């Protein structure tokens, strides 16, 4: 009887693991958890602290480079002087994102590119791997940025 109970429990657990999605959060919820403390809810930015990310003109001007750029920023972090929409960002350093799995990072990055950036860009695992190998410096990343707010 005891064995049966254990077996039933094990089967129930296995079924629960199979039916639950890898991550229960939507990409937007993942952004709120991992990015919004600095970039604010919906990526609207915190003036002087962390820039807004809901800037379609910027992401569209980056074009094909947009997924590579966001891969570089989330793996290398970002620091230095940025002037965006008349606001200077210089004090706060963005550390490399370490609180997520790569699967979650891919979801967040793609959500930023598509929903906030209004592009059809996709952040892939391959781009994260390449960015970790090439380790772009903050100066390299700044050099990729178009002169568009």
Q: What are the residues binding ligand HEC (CB under 6 A)?
A: 34-35, 37-39, 50-51, 53, 70, 73-74, 78-80, 82, 84, 89, 92, 94, 97, 108, 112, 145
CB of 131 to ligand HEC, least distance (A): 12
What residues have CB less than 8 Å from 35, skipping those under 6 apart? 43, 53, 97, 108
Decide whether 38 or 65 has the Cβ nearer to ligand HEC: 38
CB of 146 to ligand HEC, least distance (A): 9
Cα distances (Å, whole numbers) of residue 78 to 9, 71, 140: 48, 11, 10
CB of 85 to ligand HEC, least distance (A): 10
Decide whether 12 or 90 has the Cβ nearer to ligand HEC: 90
Distance between CA atoms of residues 120 and 23, nearest Å: 23
Lookup: tokens for 7? 């077996």
CB of 50 to ligand HEC, least distance (A): 4
Residue with tokens 């190998």: 133
Decide whether 9 or 91 has the Cβ nearer to ligand HEC: 91
Task: Write phi, then psi, for 122 (nearest 5 degrees).
Answer: -130, 125
């Amino acid at each position: 009887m005891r064995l049966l109970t254990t077996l039933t429990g094990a089967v129930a657990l296995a079924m629960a693991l199979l039916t639950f999605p890898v991550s229960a959060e939507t990409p937007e919820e993942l952004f709120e958890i991992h990015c919004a403390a600095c970039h604010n809810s919906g990526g609207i930015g915190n003036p002087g602290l962390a820039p807004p990310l809901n800037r379609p003109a910027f992401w569209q001007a980056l074009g094909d480079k947009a997924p590579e750029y966001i891969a570089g920023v989330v793996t290398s972090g970002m620091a230095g002087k940025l002037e965006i929409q008349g606001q200077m960002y210089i004090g706060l350093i963005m550390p490399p994102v370490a609180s997520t799995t790569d699967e979650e990072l891919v979801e967040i990055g793609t959500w930023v590119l598509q929903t906030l950036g209004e592009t059809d860009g996709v952040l892939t695992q391959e781009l994260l791997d390449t960015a970790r190998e090439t380790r772009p410096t903050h100066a390299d990343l700044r050099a990729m940025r178009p002169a568009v707010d």
